Amino acid sequence: MGEDKIEFLFTYGTFRDLSIQTAFFKRAVNMTAATLEGYAVFGGEDGFFFISQEENAVTNGFVLELSPQEMWIADQWEEIPFYEREKRLVKTDFGQVEAWVYLKSAENKKIKVDNAEMSANVALAELTEEIQKFQLYQNIRTIPNGDFYMVIDGMIADNEKWRANLKNRTRLKKISNGYKKFITLSQTALKQKNVIMTNASIGGTHYFYLSSHHIKTRIPGALYFFENEKKVRIIIAFPCLLVDLDDVIKAYETNKLLIETESWQQYLGEVGLHCCDVIKKLYCVNGISSQFDQEYEKRLNDDVQWFYYKEQNWYDERIKNHVAVIY
């Protein structure tokens, strides 16, 4: 199996379907039947399946042979880092293969399911609609692959609400290693600049909603809060951004960037914060192809700072680069 510049992905769900492979990757990819021992398939609260460790369990699936660009598309569909991508040994008729596997650590309630056919316990029409949206953005987006950050200064407007919010965040479900690593690296970077924050925490992993091309689209993101006395530095992170930058910026600036049903300003009010101006917008391009055209950067009528990295690294590895330019 395999050749140079090929990534192996173990799939137990959506990507087994040839029609979905064609929709996302523009081709039916090479795949081999495989099993992953020590993991079982569970149903998530959002209706989509995930795998988690379970003694004596076996998950049946396939190993797909993908290019790095196709792995990026898979990361976007799997909403990295809501799901984490890690390597595991899987068994095939050709022997053991080290393959990427999407895992999810942020689920407390686990309902074991049979993954024989589908990858989600949602209506086919709903799944089809999500696939069509995803295809649309893959076809019309002009932005190169990357991660987007907005750094915002805020003030504590309601101390009681803010303290209650901090208390509630300590009860958050388990968060992925990528989010934890971002917090740890940020604290180290701030300390090196002699900036001591009295509190550093993740404000939660969220689905942000915005209207783009007359379609209501959800994009996964995360909020980080770094407190120093009455000031709070807020970082909104959009890993593996699917839509164009200007769609997100426009939604933010017109207060149409939603968290669930609340606008951004409403959300901040609920947690006791008053939002000030955005002080940084950073886009970290992940892997520069020979076809990359920097005209998009010139066209964007905004003060976005662009950073380019030649290697197409996995998200957990890219965080080091992100923190270095944020601080």
Q: What is the DSSP string of 148-177?
A: EEEEEEEEES-HHHHHHHHHHHTTPPP--H
Q: Tell me the domain boundaries of the chain.
A: 7-138, 146-326
pLDDT > 90? residue 37: yes
What confidence score (pLDDT) does residue 122 get?
63
Rounded to whole angstroms, what are the CA distances from 230 to 154, 155, 187, 226, 247? 9, 6, 18, 11, 31
- The Cα–Cα gap between 302 and 267 comes to 25
Question: How many residues are listed for the chain in this entry?
Answer: 327
| Interval 158-203: pLDDT, tens | 999 988 877 766 444 556 677 788 888 888 888 888 877 777 777 7
- The Cα–Cα gap between 249 and 255 comes to 10
| Interval 237-260: pLDDT, tens | 998 898 888 889 989 988 899 987
- The Cα–Cα gap between 244 and 223 comes to 20
What confidence score (pLDDT) does residue 92 get?
93
Under 8 Å between Cβ of 62 and 8: no
Give the residue-averaged pLDDT of 27-47: 87
pLDDT > 60? residue 292: no
Q: Per CATH, which fold does 7-138 belong to?
A: Hypothetical upf0131 protein ytfp (3.10.490)
Tokens found for residue 126 = 């709903």
